[in-house]
Amino acid sequence: MALVGNIRDFGLSDFLYLVDRGYKTGGLHLSHGEETALLFFERGKLVMAARKPEDQHPDLLVRLGILNEAQLAQARASLANRDNGTTLTDVIIEENLAAKEQFQGALQSFTEEAVYGLFGWPEGEFLFEQNQRPAREAPVIPTPISVDHLIMEGVRRIDEWGRIKDRIPSTDMVVRFLDQPGERAKGVKLAAEEWRVFARINGRDTLAEIARKTNLSEFDVCRIVYGFLTAGLVEVMRQPRPLPVKGGATVADPPRVKRSLVNRIINRIKGM
């Protein structure tokens, strides 16, 4: 079943988070006016991004200087004799037609730039076709890319409050790390400003206080924390609201109910 929507309503960084945490495999088709893009994911990691139809063609490997024409022809000929589970990328690596590091580096840079450009789209239809995979001859990255740092880079390109305020409605909110942020953070490359904010997160200071301590604007702190949030590194919480107290419990507490009463309701609904 396909997931459809518009990145105006459900942002690309949110979608990448869903793909990452859901270990999704499939093709994400995006369109914005005349522009289109196609991204493929394998178990939550990015394996290919094409902004033009020709970027899905093996000739891309020649254009990027990874192979020459003769090497590409040799790889394609070998692929024709291999089983359906083998990709052109597998053949290139197995037959040493290109050094894996060079292959990975060149194709990864190209793919990342293709994705970064998509964060500039203010809106665009998306359709995620689950379990769709690239063609066997498509230029697929040897080692799939973790989307965490793609999310961080995408968020760096956000320059308006609107989207940030959806997740961070107030600078009076407190930031704290989720479980084992160090492990999650390994895939994320932080810029110097981001490290300054990262180092100030202690579960007590509000965003406004972090802005003051880092000498960054509140907008910059919120944008950076929005990136951490989107990458699943931190959570933001409201500070407890000062409330009048009634009989030792705050008025905001839900009523304590008797188990016997709940059991009666359960039995009644079961019997309906």
Partner 1 sequence: MQTVKMVISGAVNAGKTEFIKAISEIEVVSTERRATDDTKLIKKETTVAMDFGRIAIADDLVLHLFGTPGQKRFDFMWEILSEGMLGLVILVDSTRPETFRETNRIIDFFVSYRDTPYVIAANKQDRPNAWSPDELRLALRQPPHVKVLPCVASDRESVKNVLLELLYVIQERSED
Question: Interface with partner 1 by CB under 8 A: which residues?
Answer: 1-6, 8-10, 14, 17-18, 21-22, 166-167, 169, 237-238, 240-241, 252-259, 261-266, 268-270, 272
What is the closest distance, in whole angstroms, from the C-beta atom of residue 156 to partner 1 in the complex? 20
What is the closest distance, in whole angstroms, from the C-beta atom of residue 180 to partner 1 in the complex? 15
What is the closest distance, in whole angstroms, from the C-beta atom of residue 233 to partner 1 in the complex? 13
What is the closest distance, in whole angstroms, from the C-beta atom of residue 269 to partner 1 in the complex? 6
Nearer to partner 1, 17 or 110 (CB): 17
Of 9, 32, 6, whose CA–CA distance to 128 is shortest? 6
Angle at which helices 207-214 and 218-230 pack, to 10 degrees? 120
Nearer to partner 1, 169 or 203 (CB): 169
Nearer to partner 1, 199 or 237 (CB): 237
Q: Are strands 249-250 and 245-246 parallel, antiparallel or unpaired?
A: antiparallel
What is the closest distance, in whole angstroms, from the C-beta atom of residue 142 to partner 1 in the complex? 27
CA distance 166 to 168: 6
Q: What is the DSSP secondary structure assignment for residue 55, as one 8-state letter? A: G
Token match 């945490």: residue? 21
CA distance 95 to 110: 23
Nearer to partner 1, 2 or 199 (CB): 2
What is the closest distance, in whole angstroms, from the C-beta atom of residue 100 to partner 1 in the complex? 32
Sign of the torsion formed by the C-alpha atoms of 178, 199, 186 and 122? positive
Nearer to partner 1, 10 or 161 (CB): 10
- Please name the amino acid found at residue 139: P
Q: Helices (DSSP H) in 131-242: which residue ranges?
A: 148-156, 161-167, 181-185, 192-200, 207-214, 218-230
Nearer to partner 1, 192 or 272 (CB): 272
Helix (H) / strand (E) containing 17: helix 12-21
The three-point CA angle 216-217-221 to 5° equals: 75
Nearer to partner 1, 192 or 252 (CB): 252
Residue 50 tokens, joined? 């094409």
What is the closest distance, in whole angstroms, from the C-beta atom of residue 224 to partner 1 in the complex? 18
SS3 at position 245: strand
